[in-house]
């Protein structure tokens, strides 16, 4: 059960890919092939959805870990595990205890609710992002673009559709530009939604907690420039489960680092 639960995201991806491929290209194949692909896809999706509800009870609990803040200054907590778990509504991609941090310095303002704004209009954009733990960089990907923000009702509808398309690409397209560090104790620390081209480290490099890794951006599944930070127990977001972080603020509270 544990192995199946860890792989639920990959199982869902395979099922969804089969269903999409069947819908788009099924006419080119025989009825038997289309039927087998359709049934297999439905079964895979059904298994993955079922595992979302029955799996967590069988997983070991991790003790909260103390980490170096991934940011400096005054940051507003959004989607914090100190308020609800899973913090992002799902446990997929190891996000159960992830937190989103929005730069909110004294005297600064973010653009008001309105059109799709440029990410450069937000104080978080370009802010330095730091390593949370000592360890080896195992993932450093920074080629994805920083898109405009999603702050209106229409933009949020677009964001939901856009997110569904990103799911097809897997965790990398959800996290956007991101860096993952493997600690000596087997904990993996990820910071995500980083600015395109800002990552200053590469895979295999050793870093210390507090070293700058990149800058805050608006890549991936992001509504406005912010830093997404999480700890997981596997390198792969497909298989990793979230690990709690000590001392996080609740939603609407500030992290002063």
- Domain of 124, CATH number, reads 2.70.70.10
Q: How many helices and strands (H and E) does the chain possess?
A: 5, 11
pTM, entire model: 0.80
Question: pLDDT at position 237, please?
Answer: 86
The dihedrals phi and psi of 144, each to the nearest 5 degrees, come to -75, 145
Q: 155 and 106 in contact (C-beta within 8 Å)?
A: no
Identify the domain containing residue 40 by its residue range.
2-58
Domain shared by 25 and 79, yes or no: no
Residues 30 and 146 in one domain: no
How far apart are the C-alpha atoms of 27 and 110, rounded to whole Å?
A: 50
Query: pLDDT for 93-103, tens place per residue?
Result: 889 999 999 99
Which of 71, 121, 73 has its CA nearest to residue 227? 71
Report how far residue 218's alpha carbon sits from residue 220's, in angstroms, rounded to the nearest whole number.
7
Query: How far does the chain reach from its first CA to its final CA, in angstroms?
Result: 40
Residue 146 forms part of a structural domain: yes
Question: In terms of domains, do 112 and 235 share one?
Answer: yes
The verdict on 125 and 37 lying in the same domain is no
In this structure, the answer to whether residues 54 and 159 fall within a common structural domain is no
Residues 48 and 144 in one domain: no
Ordered per-residue pLDDT tens for the chain, 257 residues: 556 666 667 777 788 788 888 888 888 888 888 888 888 988 887 877 777 666 555 566 789 999 999 999 999 999 999 999 989 987 878 899 999 999 999 988 777 665 678 899 999 999 999 999 999 999 999 999 999 887 766 666 665 666 666 666 778 888 999 999 999 999 999 999 999 999 999 999 999 999 999 999 999 989 899 999 999 998 988 878 899 999 999 999 999 98
Unique residue bearing structure tokens 């309105």: 114
Paired tokens of 231: 């700890």
pLDDT of residue 171: 83
Q: What is the Cα–Cα distance from 214 to 127, expressed in whole angstroms?
A: 8
Domain shared by 107 and 26, yes or no = no
Quick count: other Cβ atoms within 10 Å of Cβ 54? 11
Shared domain check, 80 and 49: no
Tell me, yes or no, whether 235 and 109 share the same domain: yes
pLDDT at 47: 79
Locate 85 and state its tokens.
């778990």
In a domain, 68, yes or no: no
CB neighbours of 126 closer than 8 A, spacing ≥ 6?
A: 120, 195, 198, 215, 216, 217
DSSP state of 194: B
CA of residue 156 relative to chain centroid, distance: 18
Residue 164 within a domain: yes
Which residues have CB under 8 Å from 241's CB, separation 6+? Answer: 6, 59, 62, 91, 94, 96, 232, 233, 234
208 is a domain residue: yes
Domain-embedded: residue 10: yes
For residue 197, how many C-alpha atoms fall within 13 Å in the half-sphere facing its CB?
2
The pLDDT assigned to 134 comes to 98
**11 and 126 co-located in one domain:** no
pLDDT at 33: 84
State the Cα–Cα distance between residues 59 and 70, nearest whole angstrom.
27
Q: Are residues 220 and 176 in contact, defined by beta-carbon separation less than 8 angstroms?
A: yes
Residue 8, in any domain of the structure: yes
**136 contacts 182 by C-beta, under 8 angstroms:** yes
144 and 119 in one domain? Answer: yes
Query: How many domains does the chain divide into?
Result: 2
Residue 66 lies in a domain: no
Instruction: Tokens for 71, please give them.
Output: 């940011």
Residue 132: DSSP 8-state: S
**Do 116 and 162 belong together in one domain?**
yes
């Amino acid at each position: 059960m544990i192995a199946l639960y860890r792989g639920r995201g990959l199982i869902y991806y395979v099922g969804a890919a089969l269903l999409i491929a069947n819908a788009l290209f099924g006419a080119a194949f025989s009825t038997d092939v289309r039927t087998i692909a359709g049934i297999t896809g439905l079964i895979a999706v059904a298994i993955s959805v079922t595992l979302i509800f029955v799996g967590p009870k069988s997983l070991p609990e991790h003790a909260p870990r103390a980490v170096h803040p991934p940011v400096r200054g005054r940051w507003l907590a959004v989607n914090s595990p100190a308020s609800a778990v899973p913090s992002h509504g799902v446990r997929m991609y190891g996000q159960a205890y992830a937190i989103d941090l929005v730069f909110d310095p004294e005297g600064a303002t973010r653009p008001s609710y309105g059109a799709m704004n440029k990410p450069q209009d937000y104080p978080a954009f370009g802010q330095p992002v730091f390593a949370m733990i000592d360890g080896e960089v195992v993932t450093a990907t920074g080629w994805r673009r920083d898109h405009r923000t999603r702050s209106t009702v229409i933009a949020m509808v677009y964001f939901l559709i856009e997110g569904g398309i990103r799911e097809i690409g897997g965790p990398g397209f959800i996290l956007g530009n991101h860096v993952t560090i493997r600690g000596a104790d087997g904990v993996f620390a990820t910071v995500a939604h980083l600015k395109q081209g800002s990552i200053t480290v590469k895979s295999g490099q050793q870093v210390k907690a507090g070293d700058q890794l990149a800058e805050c951006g608006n890549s991936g599944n992001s509504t406005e420039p912010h830093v997404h930070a999480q700890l997981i127990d596997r390198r792969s977001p497909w298989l990793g489960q979230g690990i709690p972080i000590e001392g996080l603020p609740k939603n609407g509270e500030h992290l002063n680092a």
